[in-house]
């Protein structure tokens, strides 16, 4: 598939305004093989500028390979990638920040020098990198360690230094590969707030994860990847809406003409006090007609709630039980 100059795609704003905005990334039919094994099989992605976009899947699903193709670290065997309007990601390396899953800094470098060095790799002059590095360390509460060697820092501090080195050149696009791996709860919270702040400033943030909670809390859109394929890519709400919302209803009456308004497959149970408890999928016509029937029929509404499906349930419905179990296994291994 060839996209000619001037045909750069646009996406609707996540706020539903209908106004189109450019895509930070477009990937079409990306395929990558290693020793004859397909690692990525026809991946399609469209990432609007200024969003937080998650690539969600179990370990070994193809997340890292996909990110490396987008960055130009490796080339796809076939398919198209376009990053910030360019088909050659290396040409715009200075506009991209990348935090790989494999962390690593030179142990003998001072923290401020390590940040300046990472900025220099992206085209930032060393003197400016040193100035920005010290400012970033101060801003993030790490000013006292600016002149300490990396080997003298705790693991968490060293991870923060590498993160700041990823951002020191003020990139328009930031790509994190499993950024929460190995971080304690406090630093995970700091990273989440940083991601939101970047997006608020117009930076596009892409991160891979096998932890559904991170994707559900942070992402405007997600790509669900399993077995090298992407069975879903789009807004989180659209993924969740693959499963109908569930209605939880408790009534004082057990029967009456109002029951005809309940779906035929509504599940019914009696509570200890003799009240009736009902559970069913939200009807296509919405809750209002049912609510009218309940009131007019004197059902005696004690409680009524509508619960939307979570991203975990959506992941199971989209990617299947096996992929969901692999996701859970990965979460368990990280916790050990």
The pLDDT tens digits of the residues spanning 148-177 come to 999 999 888 999 999 999 999 999 999 999
For residue 175, the model assigns a pLDDT of 97
Q: 276 and 181, same structural domain?
A: no
Phi/psi at 224 (5° precision): -90, 125
Q: For position 163, which CATH number holds?
A: 3.40.50.300
Flag whether pLDDT at 145 surpasses 90. Answer: yes
Angle, vertex CA 296, rays to CA 291 and CA 298, nearest 5? 95
* Structure confidence by residue, pLDDT tens digits, 257-294: 999 999 988 999 987 678 999 999 888 888 999 999 99
| Residue with more model confidence, 85 or 15 | 85
Task: Give domain status of residue 328, yes or no.
Answer: no
On average, the pLDDT of the chain sits at: 89
* Residue numbers of the domain that contains 122: 10-235
Residue with tokens 């490796």: 74
336 has a pLDDT exceeding 70? no
Cβ–Cβ under 8 Å, residues 287 and 213: no
> Is residue 186 predicted with pLDDT exceeding 90?
no
- 29 touches 44 (CB < 8 A): yes
d(CA 78, CA 44): 12
* Residue listed under structure tokens 């065997």: 77
Query: pTM value?
Result: 0.81
Residue 4 — pLDDT band, cuts 50, 70, 90?
very low
**Residues 218, 251 within the same domain:** no
Q: Is the pLDDT of residue 69 over 60?
A: yes
Domain termination site, one of 235, 257, 283: 235
Do residue 52 and residue 112 come from a single domain? yes
Q: Which residue has the tokens 């990601």?
A: 89
- Name beta bridge partners: 224: 56, 232
Assess whether 116 and 205 both reside in one domain: yes
27 shares its domain with 79: yes
Residue finishing a domain among 201, 235, 269: 235
**Could you tell me if residue 4 is inside a domain?**
no
Percent of the chain clearing pLDDT 90 (strictly above):
70
Same structural domain for residues 165 and 302? no
Co-location of 204 and 257 in the same domain: no
> Does 41 share its domain with 179?
yes
Helix axes 155-167 and 111-121, enclosed angle (nearest 10): 40
Tokens read off for 241: 């809406």
Domain assignment present for 203: yes
Domain-terminating residue out of 235, 261, 278: 235
Residues 211, 272: one domain? Answer: no
Q: Are residues 104 and 154 in the same domain?
A: yes
Q: What contacts 106, CB < 8 A, 6 or more positions away?
A: 114, 117, 150
pLDDT category at 328 given cuts 50, 70, 90 is confident
Looking at residue 15, what is its pLDDT?
Answer: 47
Q: Is there a single domain that holds both residue 102 and residue 206?
A: yes
Q: How much is the pLDDT for 36?
A: 87
Torsion of CA 155, 158, 159, 160, to 10 degrees: 130
Domain-embedded: residue 127? yes
Q: Is residue 336 part of a domain?
A: no
**Does 142 map to a domain?**
yes
Instruction: Return the bridge partners of 319, or none.
Output: none
Burial of 14 (0-12, 13-18, 19+ CB in 10 A): middle
Q: What is the pLDDT of residue 200?
A: 95
**Within-domain flag for 1:** no
pLDDT at 19: 58
Task: State whether 115 and 167 are in the same domain.
Answer: yes
CA distance 53 to 11: 13
- Domain presence at residue 150: yes
Report CA-CA distances (Å) from 41 to 30, 61, 66, 144, 305.
Answer: 7, 10, 10, 47, 41
pLDDT digits (tens, 9 = 90+) for 93-107: 999 999 998 878 999
Reported as a pLDDT band with limits 50, 70 and 90, residue 319 is confident
Q: Is the pLDDT confidence value at 244 over 90?
A: no
Domain count along the chain: 2
């Amino acid at each position: 598939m060839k996209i000619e100059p001037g045909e750069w795609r646009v996406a609707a704003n996540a706020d539903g305004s209908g106004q189109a905005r450019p895509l930070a990334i477009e990937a079409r039919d990306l395929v990558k093989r290693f020793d004859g094994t397909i690692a990525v099989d026809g991946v399609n992605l469209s990432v609007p500028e200024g969003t937080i976009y998650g690539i969600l899947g179990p370990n070994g699903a193809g997340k890292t390979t996909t990110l490396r193709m987008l960055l130009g670290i490796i080339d796809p065997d076939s398919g198209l990638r376009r990053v910030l309007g360019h088909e050659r990601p290396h040409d715009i390396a200075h506009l991209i920040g990348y935090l790989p899953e494999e962390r690593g800094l030179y142990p003998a470098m001072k923290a401020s020098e390590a940040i300046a060095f990472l900025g220099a790799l992206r085209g930032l002059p060393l003197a400016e990198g040193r100035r920005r590095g010290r400012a970033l360390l101060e801003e993030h509460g790490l000013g006292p360690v600016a002149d300490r060697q990396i080997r003298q820092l705790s693991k968490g501090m060293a991870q923060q230094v590498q993160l700041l080195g990823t951002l020191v050149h003020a990139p328009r696009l930031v790509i994190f590969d499993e950024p929460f791996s190995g971080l304690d709860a406090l630093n995970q919270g700091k990273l989440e707030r940083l991601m939101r702040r970047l997006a608020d400033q117009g930076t596009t943030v892409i991160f891979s994860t096998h932890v559904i909670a991170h994707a559900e809390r942070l992402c405007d859109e997600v790509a669900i990847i399993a077995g090298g394929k992407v069975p879903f890519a789009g807004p989180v709400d659209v993924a969740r809406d693959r499963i109908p919302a569930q209605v939880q209803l408790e009534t004082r009456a057990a029967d009456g003409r109002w029951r005809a308004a309940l779906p035929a497959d509504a599940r019914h149970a009696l509570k200890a006090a003799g009240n009736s408890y009902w559970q069913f999928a939200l009807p296509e016509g919405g809750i209002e007609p049912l609510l009218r029937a309940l009131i007019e029929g004197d059902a005696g509404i004690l409680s009524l709630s509508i619960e939307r499906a979570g991203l975990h349930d959506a992941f199971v419905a989209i990617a299947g039980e096996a992929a969901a179990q692999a996701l859970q296994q990965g979460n368990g291994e990280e916790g050990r």
